[in-house]
């Protein structure tokens, strides 16, 4: 089993711009990217501007990785949620265990479940007010 911590940056419709900026400044390389429009189950009635937003992206900068997404709603991102810590494991069971431990006396922001970009993903704020995204990435 492996565990990795990755900064996770959530922006308000500017993720593509940020990735290009970081590519120019630091030589960042896109490892993966999926828009809301590419995710299964997104209604055709969603506006094109929402469909073009980034649901999940992974970028390599040197030996480190950053993860990104756009907040799809019009509500501004609250302080403390723009950058969270993404805990990545290679086991759905281990990811679920960590998620369940962090949610004790904390707050679940997004329940742990399978997502198009991860077989096990959830978002939680722990009892200390620290935001975590738990991400499972199975080894190929």
Provide DSSP, 66-131: EEEEE--SSSPPPTT-SEEEEEEES-HHHHHHHHHHHHTTSEEEEEEEEETTEEEEEEEE-TTS-E
Cα→Cα distances 60→9, 23, 29, Å:
13, 9, 5
Q: Total structural domains in the chain?
A: 1
Name 68's bridge partners: 9, 57
What is the value of pTM for the model shown?
Answer: 0.76
Q: Looking at residue 92, which CATH number applies to its domain? A: 3.10.180.10
- What are the per-10-residue average pLDDT scores of the chain (140 residues)? 89 90 89 91 80 93 91 75 89 95 94 95 90 88
End-to-end Cα spacing for the chain: 14
Residue 140's pLDDT is what?
Answer: 64
Distance CA 50, CA 82 (A): 19
Residue 6's pLDDT is what?
Answer: 93
Residue 130's pLDDT is what?
Answer: 85
Question: Does an H or E element contain 19, and which?
Answer: helix 15-26
Q: Residue 132 belongs to what domain range? A: 3-136
């Amino acid at each position: 089993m492996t565990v990795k911590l990755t900064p996770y940056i959530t922006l308000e419709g500017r993720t593509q711009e940020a990735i290009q900026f970081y590519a120019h400044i630091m030589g960042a390389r896109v490892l993966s990217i999926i828009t809301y429009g590419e995710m299964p189950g997104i209604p055709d009635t969603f506006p094109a501007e929402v469909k073009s937003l980034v649901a999940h992206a992974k970028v390599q900068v040197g030996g480190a990785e950053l993860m990104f997404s756009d907040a799809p709603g019009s509500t501004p991102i609250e302080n403390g949620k723009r950058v969270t810590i993404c805990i990545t494991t290679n086991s759905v069971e281990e990811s679920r265990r960590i998620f369940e431990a962090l949610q004790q006396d904390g707050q679940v922001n997004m329940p742990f479940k399978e997502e198009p970009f991860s077989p096990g993903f959830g978002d939680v704020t722990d009892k200390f007010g620290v935001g975590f995204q738990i991400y499972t990435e199975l080894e190929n």
